[in-house]
Amino acid sequence: MKQPLSYLFLCTVLLLQNIHGQTASSHEVCISKATFTYPKKHQRILAGGTMYIGVKATNPRDITFMELYLNGIFIGRDHSHPFLWGRERSSKLRKIQRGVYNLECRIFDRCQTRHSIYKTIQVKPALMIKNKGYHLQNQPK
């Protein structure tokens, strides 16, 4: 029988507390599910622009901070809800090149546990209008 992810997460926390000689009543239990909210599903992201990333938590008070990684490279840390990346002036998400990118958001909660969520996004080439026709940006004319 397939169990919901939150149920399995709670069981894991309780099991780890038991292994270390702790009981569930002596410690808090943090249950917060996180999902990517931005970019939206089927949203078109064009090369050369800024990629904005948003993550929503079901119980943001349980979250200490989140870290975002793009293709395994650390992008930044956010300590407050809403959890957003790409709005900073020095963001590594600016002038994004076309291609496929793997996002990982590491969620650290106040119960000192960590879990990750993942999303793959595709950045499409930007279209430019020239001489009443279309051609792909950065392509030979």
Provide the pLDDT confidence category of residue 133 given band limits of 50, 70 and 90. Answer: low
Spatial contact of 120 and 103, defined as CB atoms under 8 Å apart = yes
Domain range list for the chain: 1-31, 32-136
Strand partners, 60: none
Q: What is the pLDDT of residue 140?
A: 41
Q: Is the pTM of this model over 0.95?
A: no
Q: What is the pLDDT of residue 41?
A: 85
Tally of CA atoms within 13 A in the half-sphere of 57 that contains its CB? 25
Q: Determine the pLDDT at residue 136.
A: 52
Residue 4 has pLDDT above 70, yes or no: no
Summarize pLDDT for 60-118 with one digit per residue, the tens.
Answer: 999 999 999 999 999 999 999 889 999 876 678 999 999 999 999 999 999 988 999 99
Using left for φ > 0, alpha for ψ between -120 and 50, and beta otherwise, residue 57 falls in beta
Predicted local distance difference test score (pLDDT) of residue 108: 95
CATH topology of domain 32-136: Immunoglobulin-like (2.60.40)
Q: Classify residue 26 by its DSSP letter.
A: G
Instruction: Report yes or no: 109 and 63 within 8 Å, Cβ to Cβ.
Output: yes
Instruction: Report which DSSP code applies to 95.
Output: T
